């Protein structure tokens, strides 16, 4: 059965509580050799109607980072992930080739610093507006770095999150598509001098590497623990640069 062409009907159909999974592929050319990475994010997305407008609210709870360099790993705490607070945004709907498409425009938000999210990110590592959203005593958000078992360290970053979602409504009620990320980042410090250097990843040009999937779930499933318990049943496997033995 095809999708309804009535806009108001489709808005009502989309309204609901969804489990959120997205992958964004990045390249960092500030390193000696280009570092590629996947950031896999988990959370909840809610759609609701407000005076006839379809509103989208996102809440992130956990993230995994995958690096292209063998034996290297990085990660941030759930506290840091949960400090990312995108603004509620009206979703834009369009009907093309028999399917509905949902676009969430970018709504810049700051992480690790206060200020005006509509202005470019500060370039001052000693900016007095730095915050500690993961509450570990370090400025900005702490990224844990490890290479094998012989090197471990931390870098402290601030970010201006700028992402948009390009979604298509599927006949099974899920929404899928790709994420467009134009975020800005600044390293404001590190636990080791060798790590205290510029690092800014840009999104890989291949949209197929930056996928998003929203799956309708029961409204009672609303905690990070509940989401992570069901993720393997509703989401695809996380991408890897190397096969796990």
Each of the 245 residues of the chain gets a pLDDT tens digit; together they read: 577 788 999 999 999 999 999 999 999 877 777 889 999 999 999 999 999 999 999 999 999 999 998 888 999 999 999 999 899 999 999 999 899 999 999 999 999 999 999 999 999 999 999 999 999 999 999 999 998 888 999 999 999 999 999 999 999 999 999 999 999 999 999 999 988 988 778 999 999 999 999 999 999 999 999 999 999 999 999 999 877 65
pLDDT in tens, 63-90: 999 999 888 899 999 999 999 989 999 9
**Residue 204 confidence (pLDDT):** 93
Q: Cβ(46)–Cβ(18) under 8 Å?
A: yes
| 38 DSSP 8-state letter | E
Q: Cβ(71)–Cβ(91) under 8 Å?
A: no
Shortest CA distance to 45 belongs to which of 232, 233, 227? 227
Shortest CA distance to 26 belongs to which of 16, 41, 47? 41
Rg of the chain, C-alpha, whole Å: 19
**Residue 56 confidence (pLDDT):** 98
Percent of the chain at pLDDT > 70 equals 98
**Residue 201 confidence (pLDDT):** 84
3-state secondary structure of 216: strand
pLDDT in tens, 229-240: 999 999 999 999
Q: Cβ(154)–Cβ(132) under 8 Å?
A: no
**Residue 94 confidence (pLDDT):** 96
**Residue 143 confidence (pLDDT):** 95
**Residue 244 confidence (pLDDT):** 64
Report d(CA 17, CA 179) in Å as an integer: 19
Write down the pTM of the prediction: 0.92
Report d(CA 238, CA 66) in Å as an integer: 9
Residues in the chain: 245
């Amino acid at each position: 059965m095809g999708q309804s062409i009535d806009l108001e009907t489709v808005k009502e159909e989309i309204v609901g509580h969804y489990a959120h999974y997205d992958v964004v592929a990045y390249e960092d050319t500030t390193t000696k050799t280009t570092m590629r990475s996947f950031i896999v994010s988990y959370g909840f997305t809610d759609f609701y109607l407000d005076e006839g407008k379809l509103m989208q609210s996102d809440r992130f709870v956990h993230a995994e980072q995958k690096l292209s360099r063998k034996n290297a790993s990085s990660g941030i705490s759930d506290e840091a992930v949960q400090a990312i607070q995108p603004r509620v945004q009206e979703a834009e709907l369009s009907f093309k080739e028999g399917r509905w498409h949902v676009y969430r425009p970018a709504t810049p938000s700051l992480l690790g610093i206060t200020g005006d999210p509509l202005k470019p990110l500060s370039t001052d590592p000693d900016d007095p507006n730095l915050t500690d959203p993961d509450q570990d005593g370090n400025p900005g958000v702490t990224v844990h770095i490890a290479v094998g078992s012989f090197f471990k360290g931390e870098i402290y970053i601030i970010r201006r999150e700028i992402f948009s979602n390009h979604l298509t409504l599927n006949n099974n009620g899920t929404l899928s598509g790709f994420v467009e990320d134009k975020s800005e980042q600044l390293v404001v410090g590190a636990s080791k001098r060798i790590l205290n250097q510029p690092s800014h990843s840009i999104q890989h040009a291949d949209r197929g590497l930056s996928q998003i999937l929203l799956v309708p779930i029961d409204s009672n499933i609303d905690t990070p623990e509940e989401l992570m318990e069901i993720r393997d049943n509703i989401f695809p496997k996380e991408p890897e640069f190397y096969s796990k033995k």
